[in-house]
């Protein structure tokens, strides 16, 4: 992990993927797997060393998918010059003030904007919607308060334990699902692990025990 002193030294830009073409391809396949199989945990960005605030998995998502045609929005916790400089240099992605204009909305669990404050797409073009990428304190296949997941990509049910999100998140997610085919998609990151919830995934009550 990056030490604070290293980051404070500033000026020196952290590198992106050691092999940009293959690094992005490998990260993409993990992200694609995550989106196609909601709830599965994917190892992503293990060889990255991004500036503080940006986890390796979140950095991998940005390096793989963001560019001049895919603007970003950053929560205050990600607003440091080091993070902005990293994203601008490696992705060349414009950073927007309004989450509604961003293709990728990057946040920590506490700084996550309301789902309906991000681009929702429209009935004719529901793909013109945002993907939220949220770094959470914990992300595991199961555990206390784990959600039961159902929907496309899941054989019967899957389970995912996410720490740090607001208690009413399942209700907010139901509101998002009600907008189908519009609505946002969500990538959850924790260190170098990520999981995804496309808008079609239904969260039901926490698994008992």
Partner 1 sequence: MSAHADSLAAAQTVEGYNFAYLDEQTKRMIRRSLLKAVAIPGYQVPFASREMPLPYGWGTGGIQVTASILGACDTLKVIDQGADDTTNAVNIRAFFARTAGVATTTRTEEASVIQTRHRIPETPLTDQQILVYQVPIPEPLRWLEPRERETRMLHALGEYGLMQVSLYEDIAQHGRIAKTYNYPVQVSGGYIMAPSPIPKFDNPKLHRNPALQLFGAGREKRIYAVPPYTDVRSLDFDDYPFDVEHWDTACALCGATDSYLDEIVTDDAGGRRYVCSDSDYCDRRRQAGDTGAAR
Binding site for partner 1 (CB under 8 A): 19-22, 24-26, 28-29, 31-32, 35-37, 64-67, 69-70, 103, 123-127, 129, 131, 152-155, 180-181, 185, 198-200
CB of 25 to partner 1, least distance (A): 4
Q: Which residues contact 50 (CB under 8 A, 6 or more apart)?
A: 2, 14, 56, 58, 59, 83, 86
Taking the least distance from each CB to partner 1, the nearer of 9 and 36 is 36
CB of 1 to partner 1, least distance (A): 21
Taking the least distance from each CB to partner 1, the nearer of 104 and 147 is 104
User: In which region does residue 13 sit, left (phi positive, over 0), alpha (psi from -120 to 50) or beta (all else)?
Assistant: beta
Q: Position of tokens 């607003």?
A: 79
CB of 142 to partner 1, least distance (A): 19
CB of 11 to partner 1, least distance (A): 27
Taking the least distance from each CB to partner 1, the nearer of 32 and 141 is 32
Taking the least distance from each CB to partner 1, the nearer of 52 and 88 is 88
């Amino acid at each position: 992990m990056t030490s604070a002193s290293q980051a404070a030294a500033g000026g020196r830009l952290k590198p992106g993927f050691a092999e940009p073409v293959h690094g992005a391809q490998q990260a993409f396949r993990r992200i694609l797997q995550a989106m196609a199989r909601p709830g599965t945990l994917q190892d992503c960005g293990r060889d990255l060393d991004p500036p503080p605030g940006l986890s390796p998995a979140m950095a991998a998502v940005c390096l793989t998918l963001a560019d001049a045609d895919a603007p970003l929005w950053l929560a205050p916790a990600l607003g440091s010059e080091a993070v902005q400089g990293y994203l601008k240099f490696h992705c060349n992605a414009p950073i927007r003030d309004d989450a509604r204009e961003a293709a990728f909305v990057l946040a920590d669990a506490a700084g996550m904007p309301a789902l309906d404050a991000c681009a929702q797409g429209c009935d004719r073009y529901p793909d013109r919607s945002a993907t939220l990428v949220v770094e959470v304190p914990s992300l595991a296949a199961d555990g206390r308060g784990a959600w039961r997941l159902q929907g496309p990509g899941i054989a019967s049910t899957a389970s995912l334990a996410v720490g740090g999100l607001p208690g009413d998140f399942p209700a907010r997610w139901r509101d998002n699902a009600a907008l189908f085919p519009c609505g946002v998609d969500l990538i959850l990151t924790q260190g170098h692990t990520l999981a995804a919830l496309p808008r079609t995934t239904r969260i039901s009550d926490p698994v008992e025990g």
